[in-house]
Amino acid sequence: MAKGMRVKLNYAVSRDPDTGAEVTRLTPPEVTCHRNYFYQKCFFNDGSHLLFAGEFDGHWNYYLLDIAKAEAIQLTEGAGDNTFGGFLSPDDSALYYVKNDRTLREVNLQTLAEREVYRVPNEWVGYGTWVANSDCSKLVGIEIAASDWTPLNDWKLFHDFFHKGPHCRLLRVDLESGASGVIHEEKIWLGHPIYRPFDDDTVAFCHEGPHDLVDSRMWLVNEDGSNVRKVKDHAEGESCTHEFWVPNGSALVYVSYLKGKQGRMIYRFNPDIGVNEPVMPMPACSHLMSNFDGTLLVGDGSGTPVDVKDTGGYTIDNDPYLYVFDVEQKNYFRVARHDTSWATFANSRQVTHPHPSFTPDDSAILFSSDKDGKPALYIAKLPEQRTLLQA
């Protein structure tokens, strides 16, 4: 198979045994498939098509699924796709992704023509998820000095890399011309660069590493490199993770958890006034994502985090559910079981993570799981009968 080839999928529809929600497995459990990172655009605006990664061709490549037809077209080919960081343009005309940690590419979804937008210099390596601004005219990304780089295929390497203090730089790239510029750099592991939606002057990034060793995880910087400031000073025994901008740009939302505690807290940071506020307690979810205006959040229940040094101090019971949180009502309900293993698989620390997000109409949740075999994509409709819970 190669770019342009079509794959017919046979959906498997079931009812969640605990909530009664309708759950559809979109991809076959004998072929590794997964979704992109949870805050990257993957659906067409009308919900008709879905971007995902699949190993139908022997490599992890990008596919575009026509949901009604259950047919996917292969968009990329060959080895080296960063299949977590890719995203669709706001007008549903193009895919952007990074190949071989080296080239940022654009794929025209009508013609499948591909062009190189930007090439990482030889002395650097393109790392992690690169994120566009709201009108998709530019993006921010992280480059790590090639002399410091190590492929981070498991959690031990993740821990070791933190102590190396790699030389990293946060850059911006013009998606039309490929022109680039460095916003910020330092000898510390940087990750998760994200433009604030509808505010190109504000960029979030993080100090990456084991959460209980990082000084302060979340930071903001102006696009011109000025005014580097931390989002929050961590309390004693506090770790913060999986921050994201609410898609309307109103707040930066993140997960906070304390050593020795089972539950976690959802926080919201208002960058206009520099204030953090607790939103509501929640079960031990790992990732969070919101709908467009932040009125609803979805999270994936997890177990003891692997991205901390002191796993004994952060030991928690495994939670196999997807949850939706109502921010105004301060309550939540279970959607369905994800039952993923969270295991490192095929040299990937991320492929079994659910990374849940809402469909464009907020009626269902997209997620990945390996509960039926190899990692696969699922869509769970919000259950009609909902048992409301209070944390």
Pairing assessment for the beta strands 376-381 and 12-15 based on DSSP bridges: unpaired
Amino acid at 387: T
Whether 298 contacts 325, CB under 8 Å: yes
CA geometry: angle at 326 spanning 47 and 14, to 5°? 50
What confidence score (pLDDT) does residue 347 get?
Answer: 86
What confidence score (pLDDT) does residue 170 get?
Answer: 98
Whether 88 contacts 97, CB under 8 Å: no
Per-residue DSSP letter, 233: P
Q: Please name every residue paired with 290 in a beta bridge, in sequence order, or none if there are none.
A: 297
Helix, strand, coil abundance in the chain, percent, nearest 5: 5, 45, 50
CA 195 to chain centre: 14
Whether 33 contacts 40, CB under 8 Å: no
Per-residue DSSP letter, 389: B
What confidence score (pLDDT) does residue 314 get?
Answer: 41
Average pLDDT, 10 consecutive residues per value, the chain (391 residues) = 92 97 98 97 98 96 98 97 97 98 97 98 95 98 92 64 84 98 95 97 90 83 98 90 96 89 89 96 92 97 55 57 96 96 88 96 98 97 92 66
Q: Is 256 helix (H, G, I), strand (E, B) or coil?
A: strand
What confidence score (pLDDT) does residue 317 get?
Answer: 56
Alpha helices in the chain (DSSP H): 155-164
Q: pTM score > 0.85 for this model?
A: yes
Whether 291 contacts 324, CB under 8 Å: no
